[in-house]
Chain A
């Protein structure tokens, strides 16, 4: 009954839609579809985070010449499941002078922000929840809403370490949001559209990292630096800074509320790397070289969803490599890097790419 193709998911979604319409009224169909999509996204987020935490611990271990988790299940693959069950059963501690309402609100804000971003990501051809014409703008906007949760959580805990962590995080996001947006604008100038499906379709004859040459490379490097800062990961994890601020903004949180911050951190990592993969590496678009028909056809045999997730994994690996190599920056070094280096280079790069587009010097 259900048509299914690994290459084009729109046949599957269309057949689900039609079979629902044949049974229910259009209003109910919409409600059921929204519920299904919501459930799938939440489930996907939970599973993706479980896998990411495991991978992070394993990768960290290899960088430090350790073995990492290897007791729970083969190669320790059930370690994060065990950790999650442990976190579910822990007590919720709210300190006496905390602002109770904001304290409980912060984890939801930060998780909601992360899930909002997941919704707009095209995972494969036809596997895209909503394709709005300002997709890239929307993604950068919601990915920085998370800092609101960090600020509220740091404030509400009534703890000096949390507050310092939250303030640092605020300064960091305000600065690096500029860089991340300007570096994405470089590609937007090349594509001429903010819609994610347009951005992906424009890379059918080659990814922008190759087609856009020098300005795309500069933009990609800046995007990776700013993206790492945006996700509050090392070497930009000043908001947590275990050695200085115990655990930074989530010092006062325990149990499942802490797990929500954890979830949001890894989800935002996934979103940032997805944006990188979509904008610079063509999202689910297979590796195509201009007019080499035979080569392009061979590449098309690998399903788009595999392309998307392998690109995202490669970028996640790169960001993990950063985290376990570089020492943490001081707050003044962090702001220096942004305002004295990344921003001027970015603005110059934007002028450069405008000139390139004007002269048509790209493929």
Chain B
């Protein structure tokens, strides 16, 4: 796979194209939701979801995002409660229990922060958080998040397509992959003292995956800056891959020629592959990936819901993997 730098004026970014049926569907949905509200039928879940999309609890700094025009960027499903999104996390730098990050991440200092962009690119450098925030307008993206452990959420992220940032660095033709490195500071992150993973946490994407408009550089959720336990101050969100691919608290982005080795692949090669696309037909060696539990929504005795191919983003990302054996490239 080669990456060609788009020539200015020749290419309309995919983020500016919204298929008519998607656009119309959104209109229809808004009308329906409005009508329901007016006629007082209620459906409190739905209407609460609409309002909540930009309303966090107000504890953190506001970071509003405009509605995204990227295809597939706004899932019409009930949002997972802010409390659940911010108290049930896998962020091993703060402990291995899912309640640990919310308890321990207060020691993380998300400001000042900077990210080094380096490797196969024409304009490497170190970029401060304030500059990173200004790279592109903030958008709200309502994505499904599917954890490899078999649970899922629906989260309103705030950020912009990672491609906006990557383009600024002008990757060269040798940049076939992008490697992301997470902060690993023993002073701020108690979990880094444990040997659970080989720190720092490293993740990677193929360049076309990284440049896909759905791949999000996220700075916030629920209309506010990211809470520490969710990967403040900036993290990756790749909605069609298992959650662990979306590296948190990123300090380095490196363009590379060879496929990077992710931390989880290093820890258990047979269990966590480089691609780790959400795929109900390819099971984890120790459990089925066919179903998932939606956090906070499905009752205790409700059946698990079926997992969707590419987490429901097949229309947008399926072509990235055309002709690939997804069982082999898990």
Partners in one complex: no
Which chain A residues have a beta carbon within 8 Å of chain B's beta carbons? none
Which chain B residues have a beta carbon within 8 Å of chain A's beta carbons? none
